[in-house]
Amino acid sequence: MSFIQPPLKHDLQYTADTAQLFARVSHQPWAMFLDSGYPQSQYGRYDIFVADPFVTISTVENGAESQNTYTEIVQNGEKTISHDDPFAILNSLLAPYQAAQNALPFTGGAVGYFGYDLARQVEHLPNIALKNDALPHMMVGIYDWAVVVDHREKTACLVSHGFQQSTHQNWSALCALFDAHAEAAIETDVDPRQAAFTLTSDVTSNMDFKQYAKAFDAVKHYIAEGDCYQVNLAQRFSARAHGDGWIAYQKLREISPAPFMAYMNFGGLQVLSGSPERFLQLTDKHVETRPIKGTRPRSDDVLQDQSYAQELQQSIKDKAENLMIVDLLRNDISKNCEIGSVKADKLFQLQSFANVHHLVSIITGKLKQGKTAIDLLRGCFPGGSITGAPKLRAMQIIEELEPNRRGVYCGAIGYVGFDGNMDTNIAIRTAMYATDDNGEGEVSFYAGGGVVADSILEKEFDETLDKASSLLKTMQYFKPSH
């Protein structure tokens, strides 16, 4: 493949800790950091960050009925409202900006989150769970420049296709900002949200063991009745907090590095994701998804840790769960892939992270002519590994049994480039931190697991705690008594 360099490219001094570089813009609204967890994460290579989008897209649910959802688009300072499908809106906004492939994974385009409840634009779901977060279903910016760090090649650069005149006008200032001798941050007025991060209450769950058991039994009943094969059942943790979520995110990436991490700053909302799971990657028509299903905890005792990993690899139950989701995702990506191109390349690969072992499978395909990354994303949304099978019935059961809407959790975070390429995670191990103008707010996160016919209540409940352990440990660090 021949690569064409973007017209604007400025080499930067490489640093192993991209967080230091991103800190120069982390305070800006709509600043986003797609973080590979390097060097602690053995799977990391590229870090990407952006700020100052020239278009912002926010999909908001207005009132009790999800049919009243609308999308607010801000472009060149002008705000417009659309009731069209949010995926179609993003497709149309990206369409005028097309760029050739180049050697970097991302050189400008759309970056943001696609919340779990964006599924309501794809499927008809009941309105039962509490919408306490009231978060937008989708928040995506379109960016004309990006900083890309390649940890394998030990390079870093600022890149842009220069679609916006303002990028050309500000290019020298941008280069200076990220050069090694630049100040660590831009001087700004003091913002209360930039104060040190502190928890101001204990972390609590929306389901104690008894409540979880009741929901678990209901899932088992639905499975026995033939409604479904598997349902991902999650509990929600939350605490009151004050200060800057960027500080909490830096601790999370230290405690639990993962290959598909992300930090997103929307001002009154910050998203802190420590996800280990790729959802969809599209590179020059090549489609890849890597569902995770099957979990065991890590142990500080080497022999015990090896025992957990071996037990997972030999588990017929976990392999069966994984295979259900592989079949579901093969079907989902086939909607927008060439006939006969979809294959399960690898099954049940062991991957070990800071707090858990996982089984990961790899499914690939080739995108159909005339289809876009957004078409692929919509056709697979939300990821089957965090709903269950069959997907629609599992989502209906989730809405019935989980007390709270999921928000960003179990949606996707990532980019869709001007070159048509895409990479997204499944937004698990992900916290949402919503604050008021005084920096007071609530941090919330979820942890769940797939319940199947032979699931054991205590083991499934403990698995949710294992998955939440990194975020619980991060929050514990910021308790005042620490």
Residues annotated as catalytic are 277, 293
In the structure encoding, which two tokens stand for residue 8, read together? 């604007």
Q: Which of 384, 418, 389 is nearest to 291 (CA)?
A: 384
CA distance 444 to 237: 6
Angle between helical axes of 86-94 and 373-380 (0-180°, round to 10)? 170
CA distance 433 to 269: 6
CA distance 447 to 432: 13
Q: Which of 25, 62, 379 is nearest to 187 (CA)?
A: 25
Is 24:185 a contact under the CB 8 Å cutoff?
A: yes
Which amino acid, residue 185? A
**DSSP-derived pairing of the beta strands 440-451 and 230-242:** antiparallel
CA distance 352 to 350: 7
77 contact partners, CB below 8 Å, separation of at least 6: none
